[in-house]
Amino acid sequence: MVDEEILMPALSPTMEEGGLAKWLIKPGDFVKAGDIIAEIETDKAIMEFEATSDCKIKSLLVEEGATQIKVNTPIIALEIENSQKLSASMKTAKITSEPKRVETKGPTKKTEIKKPSSKKEEVMTVRESIRDAITEEMRIDESVFLIGEEVGEYQGAYKVSQGLLEEFGMGRVIDTPITEHGFTGLAAGAAFAGLRPIVEFMTFNFSMQAMDQIINTCAKTLYMSGGQMNCPIVLRGPNGAASQVAAQHSQDFAPWFSSVPGLKVVQPFSASDAKGLLKTAIRDPNPVIFLENEMLYNDPLASSNVDEELVPFGKARILRQGSDVTLISYGIGVKHALQATILAEEKGISIELIDLRSLRPLDYASIFSSVKKTNRCITIEECFPVCSIGNHLSASIMENIFDYLDAPVINCTGKDVPMPYAKNLETAALITVDEILTAIKKVLNHS
């Protein structure tokens, strides 16, 4: 027997540290090759960690629940016969119960499932809620399918599609070549034929390769066909800045897509809204851009209780009631706004916080009602400052309720530069909580 130390593995290209979510073994246990011994939390997913050879667990070097464990830190000591080490493996997540398949006579027939007796479920991450929304809609409607790069065998670049290939097979969970223009066009054609495709972009930066299909095919066909051809397609994936993935993988395209007639655009913050909005999107007869954020997939602040209710488009959520300043945001901007709100309220400032959720259509009524009450408004987002969502909201507020403003609307955004790779420069390029607090002080002190 040879003593070995197993190091914290790097399970994604951007992973620098991780957490030990759960140990499935204890010292003294004998494990065989293929046995799952731990669940490792990365910056993108919780992945199973398995043995590649028979060995004995000598000791566990980190406690269950430990976080911020640097890559290459020893986590297990073991005794092994042939000095082969353990390796990470992303195994298929098991569905807890075998679903009943819905019988359908045609590809577009839909059967509603019964809601559970209790609305509230366990706290879920954004990643889990998106996966569950796709799974549930695929179970009740056989016309729904998932298509994209690495959505099947690899279970999604960010593990959103874990378990789907195992349950639904290659006919409905389709791995594609690296050609966004190609598989988006294929999915659009399927939508015209009566199916309901969900297209996953590994990042929305890559959707630029499919812009002709998204804009000229998906968004415009209903209008150009005189209402005769619907395109019930969902285009989803991570949007905006991640962590040191540089300019070509970090842009926020929310304003781009929101400017296009024929598209519906949503970007949720919480797990509850992510599930409710995605289920609404899949059932919608029109093309929907569903923007996610990689940094929220496993964020505790975005995790929430998730019920079975659909979330309608065009309806914002009032996260906090207040009287001094209205903060308006969406997606990961809501996280920054929440943090700023807590600090502002400690200083006696009453904040009304609006999570837009839906960017096209927008809930103008809720926005105008809030600004009429507080008389001050700040918009918060990570996109570029020019032609941002906040720019449009500022113009709409000025045109409709200008007389209620006691200060100019301030737009807090990312900086007007391509996203740097260096961590310190990346941080400087993004919106910060301190910048939001400065904006709050400015609108309150305006004379």
Active site members: 180, 249
DSSP string spanning 156-217? -TTSTTTTHHHHH-TTTEEE--S-HHHHHHHHHHHHHTT-EEEEEPSSGGGGGGGHIIIIII
Smallest CA-to-CA distance from 287 within 339, 351, 360, 338 is with 360
Distance between CA 13 and CA 109 in Å, rounded?
Answer: 41
What strands, in cross-sheet order, belong to the sheet with 2-7?
A: 2-7, 74-80, 55-60, 30-31
Distance between CA 86 and CA 225 in Å, rounded?
Answer: 58
Which run of H or E residues covers position 392?
A: helix 389-401
What strands, in cross-sheet order, belong to the sheet with 46-50?
A: 69-70, 17-23, 36-41, 46-50, 87-88
Q: CA-based Rg of the chain, rounded to a whole angstrom?
A: 24
Tokens 């737009």 identify what position? Answer: 411
- The number of residues in the chain equals 447
User: How distant, in Å, are the alpha carbons of 52, 140, 204 from that of 207?
Assistant: 38, 28, 5
Q: Which two tokens stand for residue 189?
A: 């054609």
Residue 258: what are its φ and ψ, rounded to 5°?
-70, -15
**Helix or strand or coil: residue 49?**
strand
